[in-house]
Amino acid sequence: MKDYINEYSRWLACTAEDEKTNSELRSIGNDAKEIEERFYTELEFGTAGLRGIIGAGTNRMNIYVVRRASAGLAKYLLNFKSAKTKGVAVAYDSRHYSKEFAEETACTLAAYGIKCYLYSTLHSVPQLSFTIREKNCMAGVVITASHNPPEYNGYKVYWHHGGQVAPKQADEILSCIRASDYFDTETVSLSYAVNSGLVEMIGEDVDEVYYKKTMSLMLRPELVKEHGGDIAVVYTPLHGSGFVPVTNVLHRIGIKRLYTVPEQEQPNGSFPTVKAPNPEDPDAFTLASKLADEVGADLILATDPDSDRLGIDVRMDNGSFRTLTGNQIGCILIKYLLSTMKELGTLPSNGLVVKSLVSTSLADAICRSYGVTMRHVLTGFRFIAEQIDLAEATGEFKFIFGFEESYGFLAGGYSHDKDAICAAMLAAEAAVYYSTEGKTLYDVLNDIYAEYGFYIETTKSYTLSGKAGMEAIADTMEQLRKHPLPTVADEAVLSYEDIWEGTKLYISSGETEKLNFPSSNVLRYNLFGDAWVIVRPSGTEPKLKLYVGAKADTKEKAAERVKKLTSASDDVLSRYLYK
């Protein structure tokens, strides 16, 4: 947005009757840099929807941005004949203003005559995804910023298949949003929308169907019923939306010794007991570990605010806890599902597992050993959802499991987004089963390494700020394309993939081939012996991510290899980012 001063002045004038917003805007009147940060651009609307810091301005999350997004979504939906009657499901998590933003969404959609199913209490992303499919909705919206810091919130849009909208759809919705104004959108009151039948409040009736279908994915339900009291499990929702659904499902399947962290049970958008509500962070398990020691638990489960990501801590032989990576959790669950299906005679001959491009190659090795097809997709669970739909439509494959290294897992396909509730259930089932063999999940992980080799992965994030940060990241990606790396840590690059261009270059021969991925700003360097380096910027914030993975015949060698590859890659990225 070029003329941000004029846009700031317009917001001042248009919010004159909104004292809270107007007061916030007046308070920055003498801060030119802050005005620029809030108004130099609009929040990006991509396939993950909107996400930004809460506050007044076009580059912030507020009711005017939410109304405009909802008006744009409404205009897009009206291109489809059945959109008004099929409607939109709307959910929200525990973040600040999530409930208000969800209600604004429903009321704006209702003003355009579009039926809305609005959850009466906070609910998780997987439940929203499930509801879209269960209610045969045209679309869905969930108000969340996942595991971002407390000052963030967001607006995610889903399509009728229960997955997030595709890139082309996102662009089309964005065009409709840009054709709408922040202060000239139609809306109605919530009471009017409910009384007129345009908004239907939903809750426990849909939850019950979700619980039953989720539990139907268990492979050894009777064993868990019989031995569910043999292990103690500690669970923390990290102040998010997972407390009710996760504890409900775990109690129902037979986990009798289930303990929740009392300080983190209740929803709280400030997330007061953690630095960040992120189950990837070992620090998020501090209170849970203390409780686990008190009750003698070997397994700790944690979900993020919108309960689409699951983190796991397992007790090691020395008595301390270890936080598993998303790759390790995914491989443990894949191994459990495939080995159990094979034992029970239910492993489909056309079984399919799907993972993101940046996730571990260990999963590929496990699938190969069971004759199961592994398919790679771009980062973003919507791409896994597309593969589920494709498998269902063609009948060529039977979807079993999908995962991302960023702690997203899904079995079965009742939901079409990552589902920490279902994943928590399967992790608990696996823990109970292996306990009957005298093993913990940590033992199982070591067994997997012994069978398939040691695979280690790491990620590094480069978080910058504002406009300057976005520009530095864009320049870094441009430089990497202009100067592809021939080696990384003195290891030769075998092939170089530019997902944006859709090409793969074999370094030694100079031959190229077409990649079967949608265009995306991702670069991948493939090295010998199952090692790789990937660089990918965030589409919604000034962040660049580096992914490194490598295999070796011992844990020490794999760790050393990853360390060298990461250090060399970091040197290159830092030189471009911070010049």
Residues 6+ apart with CB under 8 A from 321: 285, 289, 292, 300, 313, 314, 315
Q: Decide: residue 511, CB within 10 A, 0-12 exposed, 13-18 middle, 19+ buried.
A: exposed
Q: Decide: residue 563, CB within 10 A, 0-12 exposed, 13-18 middle, 19+ buried.
A: middle
- Look up residue 404 and give its amino acid: E
- Checking 556-564 for CB contacts under 8 A at 24+ apart, the result is 557/454, 558/454, 558/455, 558/456, 559/456, 561/456, 561/531, 562/456, 562/457, 562/458, 564/489
Residues 6+ apart with CB under 8 A from 206: 127, 130, 131, 134, 135
3-state secondary structure 37-54: HHHCCCCCCECCEEEEEE
Give the closest residue to 295 by CA, choosing from 232, 213, 207.
232
Q: Is the Cβ–Cβ distance between 494 and 506 less than 8 Å?
A: yes
**What are the residue numbers of the active site?**
146
Q: How far is the C-alpha of 534 from the C-alpha of 427, rounded, in Å?
A: 29
Per-residue DSSP letter, 309: B
Residue 73, SS3?
A: helix
Residues 6+ apart with CB under 8 A from 322: 313, 314, 315, 316, 442
Residues 6+ apart with CB under 8 A from 554: 454
| 150, two tokens | 């407390």
